[in-house]
Structure 1
Amino acid sequence: MPTLLPSTLRSHRLPLDTSAQRLGFLEPVPEGERSDRAALQARLARDGYLYLKGALNPARVLAFREMYFRTLAETGLIAAGSPPLEGLSGDEILDPARVRRLLFDEIVRGEAYEALCTCEEIKGFYTWFLDRKVHLHKRKLIRHHRPQDTWTTPAHYDLVYLRGGTTRLLSSWIPLGDCPAERGGLTYLEGSHVWCEAFDRQATKKMVAESITYDLRALAETHQTRWLIAAYEAGDMVVHSPYIVHASLDNDDTRGVIRLSTDIRYQRLDDAIDPRWQNHWREDDGL
């Protein structure tokens, strides 16, 4: 685990407080707990997340990354002539409409993406961990983020977007390639699942499907807690509670490497399923 915190991190171009009181590291699940379901359930209840280092076959993850950027290379997303696996950002996207068509019609609906999301390391884990037959939500999100992009995912918790089903669903956030701190990645607000769940259960009117804030620094200060980060590697997977607050950080990679990641959701098949999430992800699907 890293011992030094980065000196500069941003989200939506707003700087975070990187002092030790406001920034820390995700705690990986120790190898001795990986096959202990009760220990993992207790850890998830305590922390709101399970950071599973090397849960997936890195070769499988990197093969998908290479396919993704190779498919979109013609649009100018990656630097002309560069190896697709590296994901080096192009100077400009030549055809944004073509990017959307290839992403939503070929990649999101493609066999390679489905195979990745249902591989034994993921579906098998959830079947074992939830101790039931499981259901993968068809609406699965995959995002690329270039250093020059100014928009990042704001602070939110997943349940506000999934009101039509069970509260017992779990999300997987998977970096599709190495993702050191300067390349951004997902960050989690320590302990937020506790107060979010308490608030959500007690509220007479459920929070609408919207983000909390873009100002991560202020949110951590308000709740006197820390944002947790990691130097993610290909093969890592984070499983998190639908109540924990999380957001993405800016990609400030000096080499211009694009961050690529996916987030998917599993639940028990016999629990209520939100019908709005049973269609392929589209940019205009309203969720």
Structure 2
Amino acid sequence: MPGISTKNNCLEVNDGPLLPENIAHLTPSSPTEPLETLRARYERDGMLLLKGLLPRENVLRTRTKYFEMMSPSGVLEQSTQPIEGIFNSTRSPDDFPGIGAGAAGQNGRPGGEGAQVFVNLAIEAHYQDWYTKDLAKHPALLDFVATFTGWNENTLGLNRSLLRNNVPGTKPIGVHYDQIFLRYGEPTSVTAWVPIGDVSLSGDTGDAVGVQIEREFTKKAREAGMTEEEARNAFNQNMMSTGLLSEYPLEFARQYNRRWLVSAYEAGDVVLHKPHAIHASTVNNDPNNVIRLATDLRFVDQSKPYDERWTHFYRFGDGV
């Protein structure tokens, strides 16, 4: 994807531009580095950027298939190729909302009447073999996660995933961490964020703040005499209606005296992160109107308790 998605030469989130003092750069890693080095970096940062873990041509094939499928909705600029993912400048971004990007209610359907065609196609893409098998269960990813975690044959890739599009001008994902949505299992899962194409800068803050938030709420719940089930449900109810910690990444980082870790990504890169790693995305201000496409894949040790709701493929209103 040519260029970095910036506005006035700086990154932008929902509540304004990220200044140099608000960011730090995520350390790139090679999958061939010693495992002890990679594991130490993962523990330190709560995440690990692996350069070129997946074959670039396989990732770009998925990108092509996705935009070929989306093309009848009118999302693409005329006379451009699907692999480019160039947004149709004559259309409203409101007609092409992101999946899982803050729809009202618990995992509700995004967009209005004008978005129906695109949303139907976007949800259908979650069930296609070129995505569910060729990318989400790619041997290079599964084998690395199995070895890196030491789970080996107990490694399970969960079927439920979020194949996210982000056209220029739409709202980015707010502040959250994944354990909020995987609460019916132990906080031992690993998320693989996979850019499907070259993607501009986005950010994370690491997992220490997420762990802190979780512990503080659990302590209060126990002091109030809540059972484990009551505390779990109460936590979700005290999030925003979308399950987010905040819509305002800049304010959130200042509140906890943290900086956002940012990076640009290439097709084939993968970011592994912990279940309490706090992350959000930047506004897509790509100068060439390129649509961002990425997915969140979760892996668990199936020998331990995990959130079995995630064994089912994504659908609207599934309550997760």
Q: TM-score, normalised by structure 1?
A: 0.88
Indicate the SS of the match to 1:108.
helix
Moved over 6 A (4+): none
Q: 1:64 aligns with which of 62, 86, 108?
A: 62
% identical aligned pairs: 28
> Which residue of 1 is the match for residue 101 of structure 2?
none
> Which residue of 2 is the match for residue 102 of structure 1?
121
Q: 1:125 aligns with which of 144, 163, 167?
A: 144
Count of residues in Structure 1 that have an aligned counterpart in Structure 2: 272
> Which residue of 2 is the match for residue 188 of structure 1?
204
Kept after mapping to 1: 8 A contact 2:194/2:270: yes
Q: How much has 1:130 moved relative to structure 2?
A: 2.0
> Which residue of 1 is the match for residue 303 of structure 2?
270
Indicate the SS of the match to 2:204.
strand
Determine if the alignment matches structure 1 residue 197 to structure 2 residue 197: no
Q: How much has 1:215 moved relative to structure 2?
A: 1.3
Indicate the SS of the match to 2:199.
coil
Q: How much has 1:35 moved relative to structure 2?
A: 4.4
> Which residue of 2 is the match for residue 45 of structure 1?
43
> Which residue of 1 is the match for residue 191 of structure 2?
171
> Which residue of 2 is the match for residue 73 of structure 1?
71
Pair 146,46 (structure 1): closer, same or farther in 2 beyond 3 Å: same
Task: Name the amino acid aligned to 2:83.
Answer: L
Name the CA distance, whole Å, in 2 between partners of 1:100 and 1:119: 26
Name the CA distance, whole Å, in 1 between partners of 2:42 and 2:294: 22
Task: Name the amino acid aligned to 2:209.
Answer: W
> Which residue of 2 is the match for residue 158 of structure 1?
178
Determine if the alignment matches structure 1 residue 26 to structure 2 residue 5: no
Q: 2:160 aligns with which of 139, 143, 165?
A: 139
Indicate the SS of the match to 2:275.
coil
Task: Name the amino acid aligned to 2:132.
Answer: E
Name the CA distance, whole Å, in 2 between partners of 1:27 and 1:52: 9
Kept after mapping to 2: 8 A contact 1:11/1:216: yes
Task: Name the amino acid aligned to 2:23.
Answer: L
Kept after mapping to 2: 8 A contact 1:187/1:249: yes
> Which residue of 2 is the match for residue 220 of structure 1?
253
CA deviation string 1:65-119 (max 9, x = no partner):
01100111011111123100000001324952222222223x2111111121111
> Which residue of 2 is the match for residue 17 of structure 1?
18
> Which residue of 2 is the match for residue 88 of structure 1?
86
Q: How much has 1:258 moved relative to structure 2?
A: 0.3
Indicate the SS of the match to 1:230.
strand
Kept after mapping to 1: 8 A contact 2:190/2:275: yes
Name the CA distance, whole Å, in 1 between partners of 2:69 and 2:117: 11
CA deviation string 1:117-173 (max 9, x = no partner):
111111111111122221111111101111121x21100111011110121001011
Kept after mapping to 2: 8 A contact 1:153/1:247: yes
Name the CA distance, whole Å, in 1 between partners of 2:132 and 2:210: 31
Task: Name the amino acid aligned to 1:163.
Answer: R
Task: Name the amino acid aligned to 1:11.
Answer: V
> Which residue of 2 is the match for residue 8 of structure 1?
10
Q: How much has 1:231 moved relative to structure 2?
A: 1.3
Kept after mapping to 2: 8 A contact 1:147/1:258: yes
Taking only aligned residues, the RMSD between alpha carbons, in angstroms, comes to 2.1
Q: TM-score, normalised by structure 2?
A: 0.79
Q: Which ranges in structure 1 are unaligned for 5 or more consecutive residues? A: none
